[in-house]
Amino acid sequence: MSMASKSMLNAQALARSRLSYRCYNHLSKIHVGLGSTPYSTKNSKVTASHQAHSLLSPCKLLSQQKATARKFSQRSLGQDNLLDVSVDSSSGVATLKMQKPPVNSFSLEFLTSLCINLDKLHSDGCRGLVIGSSLPKIFSAGLEITEMYQPDEARLREFWRTLQEFWIKLYGSQMITIAAITGHSPAGGCLVSMCCDHRVMADGKLTIGLNETLLGIVAPRWFSDTLINTVGHREAERALQLGKLYSPQEAVAVGLVDQVVPLESVAATVESTMAQWLKIPSHARHLSKLQLRQPTLDRLLHTRQEDIDNFVSFITKESIQKSLGMYLAALKQRSKAK
């Protein structure tokens, strides 16, 4: 494919992604306006159509949104392509399962969808959120490497801005957040797990950690801050430099995860942990969380544009592109050899 057509495709994807975000904003207003009751059915599916498939005129868009909002207020929307979100009406606990085969890698569209859902669940007054995966043996392989390899700069900037957005929303979330780590969780996957208040990991041949150095790249400051806040400074120093991928037993030993249980017990363990956390007065719990996390959040909030500029300038260096290209090729080779 020529560079020009790649650029065109990227621009179209970016426009779609922006549009889907705008659609959601309208949609949530309409939803509230209709006076629908959150949690109207037990375990109702709560999914938004995150991928706008075509660029519609404003009128058509609005009528489509209204129709969608009507459906939403009654019961639910259909299955989202990338996420499976359900809410338990009695407890107000949402379960968000990532389902982006083959490895739940975070592309721009996927991150946008995650942001939209976090906002939605928060505005619906959900008290708890379980983040898990529908894919066997995979929590998330982290960032979609092809977003960073031979990128279109405008899309690359949007990609990083959306990742920042997702991290800010999740790390400071008012909801009780629990990660159900039933599969591998390298790099960005580990970051998402660390943003949660509690991590339950399945035992077995799985790994978790910030392995960026193995790709020849550097985890940015807010990734390493999140790790330091989770495992402490000394362990983070070692882990970041070595790009350490921990086994579940190693991870629990250093506090990277809180519990390791057999795969079949993950759901029950998450449920009983959530029940414990739900007993704590919500306001006091959230303020306590923010007391500890706000300085870390502020550090990025005060430097977002600079962080995007640093990321773009770093990733587009020839030497970094070469490392990413080699890493991608090795991944593909390994996958083909299976």
Ligand X SMILES: CCCCCCCCCCC/C=C/C(=O)SCCNC(=O)CCNC(=O)[C@H](O)C(C)(C)COP(=O)(O)OP(=O)(O)OC[C@H]1O[C@@H](n2cnc3c(N)ncnc32)[C@H](O)[C@@H]1OP(=O)(O)O
Name the token pair of 247. 């086994």
Q: How many residues bind ligand X (CB under 6 A)?
A: 29
Q: Which stretch binds ligand X (CB under 6 A): 59-67, 111-119, 168-176, 309-317?
A: 309-317
Establish whether 104 is a catalytic residue: no
Name the token pair of 199. 């991590």
Residue number with CB closer to ligand X (150 or 314): 314
Establish whether 33 is a catalytic residue: no
Which residue blocks in the chain are alpha helix, DSSP H?
3-33, 58-74, 108-123, 145-148, 153-171, 188-195, 221-231, 233-242, 248-254, 266-278, 282-301, 304-315, 318-337
Are the C-beta atoms of 127 and 282 separated by less than 8 Å?
Answer: yes
- Which of 27, 82, 143, 210 is an active site residue? 143
Establish whether 237 is a catalytic residue: no
The reply to whether 217 sits near ligand X by the rule CB under 6 A is yes
**Interatomic CA distance for residues 299 and 43, integer angstroms:** 38
How far apart are the two ends of the chain, measured CA to CA in Å? 28
> How would you class 266 by CB atoms within 10 Å of its CB: exposed for 0-12, middle for 13-18, buried for 19 or more?
buried
- Return the sign of the alpha-carbon dihedral for residues 309, 160, 188, 94: positive
Nearest-approach distance from CB 1 to ligand X, in angstroms: 16
Virtual CA dihedral for 50, 53, 54, 59, nearest 10 degrees? -50
The reply to whether 211 sits near ligand X by the rule CB under 6 A is yes
Residue number with CB closer to ligand X (128 or 186): 186
The reply to whether 146 sits near ligand X by the rule CB under 6 A is yes
Q: Write the binding mask 110 to 139 for ligand X: x where contact by CB under 6 A, - elsewhere.
A: ----------------------------x-
The reply to whether 212 sits near ligand X by the rule CB under 6 A is yes
The reply to whether 331 sits near ligand X by the rule CB under 6 A is yes
Contact residues: ligand X, CB under 6 A: 102-103, 105, 138, 141-146, 184, 186-188, 211-212, 215, 217-220, 310-311, 314-315, 331-332, 334-335
Active site residues: 143, 188, 211-212
